[in-house]
Amino acid sequence: MQTATFGGGCFWCTEAVFQTLNGVSQVTSGYMGGELKHPTYMEVCNGDTGHAEVVQITYDEDVIPFNTLLLVFFKTHNPTTLNRQGNDIGTQYRSVIFYENEDQQKLAKQMITDLTREQVFDKTIVTEIAPATEFYEAEDYHQNYFSDNQGKPYCAFVIQPKLNKFAKDFQDKIRPELLE
């Protein structure tokens, strides 16, 4: 099993997307990239810790390669807005890939080069590529947020439409039991 860590804005949305992928065994919401040890959600939300809201993904490379995870990451958030995703503004919502090894770093850089060359986005990709640092798991109520709170307005009006679009674009990557 391998680990990948991505920050693509609010971790609730990112977590919901990656939990549907065949080959992903665990998605944990948390914080990475800051200086404060053991930050809380409120400290990260204040924007002074340097942490990003991230998801740490445990996956089977034989089932879903890192490059596919990268493509899902780029296609399910806006990597062209600096420190912002939709109405969420601040460095904690930055687009970031925290790489675990040189291969992940190289693949992330190559993906940005390819997406730029193919003009997939209208603006420049501003996704940060940085070495993984200590991961701090978010509070329990952030874990499995969409699954546990589907009736809440944020889930219905923000996360569900994102999942619908994702399902249309990546149907062949979704765990089969979720398609029944």
Catalytic positions are 10
- On whether the CB atoms of residues 51 and 33 are closer than 8 A, the answer is yes
Torsion angles phi and psi, residue 98, rounded to 5: -100, 105
CA 144 to each of CA 11, 14, 23, 93, 103: distance values in angstroms, whole numbers, following the listed order: 10, 11, 17, 19, 29
Neighbours of 121 (CB within 10 A): 13
Amino acid letter, residue 16: A
